[in-house]
Amino acid sequence: MQNLENKDEVKVHKLTINGGKTKLGEAENIQVEIFAGQVISIVGPTGSGKSRLLADIECLAQEDTPTKRQILIDGEILDDEARFNLEGKLVAQLSQNMNFIMDITVEDF
């Protein structure tokens, strides 16, 4: 982690999600902009596309995923070298099933 902190950082100020197609092939006529520092929540019923949206963002989709969405970084399309370079990228996704069982007392915890 320290190595990542010492490298020249690429700062992202804005992520733009250009809509693609729904499961039924209908156009998603939407553009969403997420700015650095914002906290957002993605909610919806099972099968509504929450995980697919996160996957599109993670791979910086360029109309080449099942949804045909496009992800822009600071309003720009990344070239393939920047898009597929894993250097310094930290991506995390929480599972939809978060069942934690602890077999200890509150005091022990």
| Amino acid code (one letter) for 75 | G
Domain assignment present for 77: yes
Residue-wise pLDDT tens digits, 62-80: 999 999 999 999 999 988 8
Nearest one of 53, 88, 60 to 76, comparing CA atoms: 60
* Number of domains forming the structure of the chain: 1
- What is the pLDDT confidence band of residue 86, given thresholds at 50, 70 and 90? low
What is the per-residue pLDDT for 89? Answer: 61
Query: Domain residues for 72?
Result: 2-84
Average pLDDT of the residues in 56-61: 90
The verdict on residue 9 lying in a domain is yes
pLDDT mean over 23-44: 92
Is the pLDDT confidence value at 19 over 90? yes
In sequence order, the β-bridge partners of residue 102 are none
Return the C-alpha torsion angle 51, 55, 58, 64, nearest 10: -150
CATH code, domain carrying 76: 3.40.50.300
Question: Does 105 map to a domain?
Answer: no
The SS3 of residue 81 is helix
User: What is the side-by-side strand order in the sheet with 31-35?
Assistant: 31-35, 14-18, 70-73
Number of Cα atoms under 13 Å in the Cβ half of residue 71: 20
Kindly report the average pLDDT of the chain as a whole number.
82
Examine the pLDDT at 4 and tell me if it is beyond 50: no
Note whether residue 6 is domain-resident: yes
